[in-house]
Chain A
């Protein structure tokens, strides 16, 4: 991200949201809402204000596990390196203003809406971790049941515990950890899909990481199937098993807590052995949750007039033959916006999306099929039914009659079926052509 920010000709708008988009390939106009940071661009991220700020909030980047000040950097490597104020927590004491040597604090800053012109759009909205409902497998009820993302932050050197693996209830090192796979995925009542093996690989990675930190920890992974499909993935899984991590094929329905020790009791049965049900006790349980479409995906879907597939992720042009582009020319998808996928696959798709659009933008001309609606303006009564019925916003009523945008038009013909004046025709699919076809077919009867 830092490298991109330093590249000439590249503008990054962080802490911003897309509000509206119009136009077509080569001529998109996008409105972006730049939210107010209450700190201007003179800020160099020195952090003097963080130290003096007396108000606290929860650090969203660390999954709310540690406090942060009301004036803060969203995360260590944030681009640009500018502090921001959480106005829901700020008490407007002004201590940051006096601590700032660069006079960068600006309490009167307002959000602004800018409009930019772009030729093409890549949607890379990513994913969210599935949040189980409170009580499901003890989530949000028992302190020592955490999700995979929380474990990631706990294990991170810049995380809330500086990389020390401790359990939330008492801050002690856990001795016995259970990973539960497929939480919220491959479940007919929740997400029916498999998150492309990403949660399997994250668990395998974290078991190895924990073994490096604390070699004496006993780790069990409860799985349905380990989906280690990819280059070197199976070897990685084998290496994890060689380190003594137990993989148990089972399905866990319920977790109980010992209220005194906050240890968790699980009844499970290894379905690959003849051993019956047995109760086990764990210090920490990690839920490996599904990848789900990010919050706000509906808004982008509505603004860009995209479609989503059944799983809620953006729909591609063709799931096998063209998983890069969308049905709208000039808009491509990258990464998990199109469906759950790993980092390597996301990078591959991001590069593919960039080259797909670069190929489109490097030419001065854009080739289209001639199957487009055609308006006879002499006949047009400007009633507006075509404009109302066009799914692609390709037809507009002008002063002299309906005008078709040949690039947005996809030749579906909804406009001419609705035209009371019969002023619209579709090239290659005119009324007499269909009439002749019907007549020829029915002649034999």
Chain B
């Protein structure tokens, strides 16, 4: 949807494809924040 309406997002956002948001574990999110990410957005 975002692609078809040509929505823009900042180049500093890095997407990681996950099969299902149910798969996201707190440890993955904390790892990203621990490595210096400003935030984690779980979208889907």
A interface, CB within 8 angstroms of B: 371, 389, 391, 411-414, 416-417, 426, 429, 431, 434-435, 437-439, 441-442, 445
Known: A412-B23, A442-B35. 15 other contacts (CB 8 A): A371-B19, A411-B19, A413-B18, A413-B22, A414-B22, A417-B22, A429-B23, A431-B25, A431-B28, A434-B18, A438-B35, A442-B14, A442-B32, A442-B36, A442-B37
CB atoms of A441 and B14 under 8 A apart: yes
CB atoms of A413 and B23 under 8 A apart: yes
B interface, CB within 8 angstroms of A: 14, 16, 18-20, 22-25, 27-28, 31-32, 35-37
CB atoms of A413 and B16 under 8 A apart: no
Q: Whole-angstrom distance from the CB of A23 to the nearest CB of chain B?
A: 23
Q: Which residue of A lies closest to B27 (CB)?
A: A431
Contacts of B22 in A (CB 8 A): 389, 391, 412-414, 417
Which one of A411, A417, A439 contacts B35 once the chains associate, using CB atoms below 8 Å?
A439
User: Known contacts being A417-B25, A445-B36, is A438 close to B31, with CB within 8 Å?
Assistant: yes
Q: Which residue of A lies closest to B29 (CB)?
A: A438
Interface of B is mostly: loop
Contacts of B16 in A (CB 8 A): 434, 437-438, 441
Cα–Cα distance between A426 and B19 once the two chains are bound (Å): 10
Contacts of B18 in A (CB 8 A): 413, 429, 434
Nearest first, the 3 closest Cβ-Cβ pairs linking A and B are: A413-B23, A414-B22, A412-B20
Q: Which residue of B lies closest to A412 (CB)?
A: B20
Contacts of B25 in A (CB 8 A): 416-417, 431
Contacts of B32 in A (CB 8 A): 438, 442
Which one of A411, A435, A441 contacts B28 once the chains associate, using CB atoms below 8 Å?
A435
User: Known contacts being A438-B35, A442-B37, A445-B36, is A413 close to B20, with CB within 8 Å?
Assistant: yes
Contacts of A391 in B (CB 8 A): 22
Cα–Cα distance between A15 and B1 once the two chains are bound (Å): 44
Q: Whole-angstrom distance from the CB of A219 to the nearest CB of chain B?
A: 44
Q: Which residue of B lies closest to A389 (CB)?
A: B22
CB atoms of A412 and B19 under 8 A apart: yes
Cα–Cα distance between A23 and B9 once the two chains are bound (Å): 44
Q: Whole-angstrom distance from the CB of B35 to the nearest CB of chain A?
A: 4
Cα–Cα distance between A109 and B28 once the two chains are bound (Å): 61
Q: Which residue of B lies closest to A390 (CB)?
A: B22
Q: Which residue of B lies closest to A419 (CB)?
A: B25
Cα–Cα distance between A434 and B27 once the two chains are bound (Å): 11
Cα–Cα distance between A431 and B19 once the two chains are bound (Å): 13
Q: Which residue of B lies closest to A445 (CB)?
A: B36
List 13 interface pairs A-B (beta carbons < 8 Å), by A numbering.
A389-B22, A391-B22, A412-B22, A412-B23, A413-B19, A414-B22, A414-B23, A416-B25, A417-B22, A431-B25, A437-B16, A441-B16, A442-B35
Cα–Cα distance between A431 and B18 once the two chains are bound (Å): 11
Q: Whole-angstrom distance from the CB of B5 to the nearest CB of chain A?
A: 17
Cα–Cα distance between A426 and B32 once the two chains are bound (Å): 20
Cα–Cα distance between A412 and B24 once the two chains are bound (Å): 10
Cα–Cα distance between A437 and B16 once the two chains are bound (Å): 8
CB atoms of A434 and B28 under 8 A apart: yes
Q: Whole-angstrom distance from the CB of A373 to the nearest CB of chain B?
A: 10
Cα–Cα distance between A72 and B16 once the two chains are bound (Å): 64
Cα–Cα distance between A414 and B20 once the two chains are bound (Å): 7
Q: Whole-angstrom distance from the CB of B33 to the nearest CB of chain A?
A: 10
Contacts of A434 in B (CB 8 A): 16, 18, 28
Contacts of A389 in B (CB 8 A): 22
CB atoms of B19 and A417 under 8 A apart: no
Contacts of A371 in B (CB 8 A): 19
Contacts of A435 in B (CB 8 A): 28, 31
Cα–Cα distance between A435 and B28 once the two chains are bound (Å): 7
Contacts of A438 in B (CB 8 A): 16, 28, 31-32, 35
CB atoms of B35 and A426 under 8 A apart: no
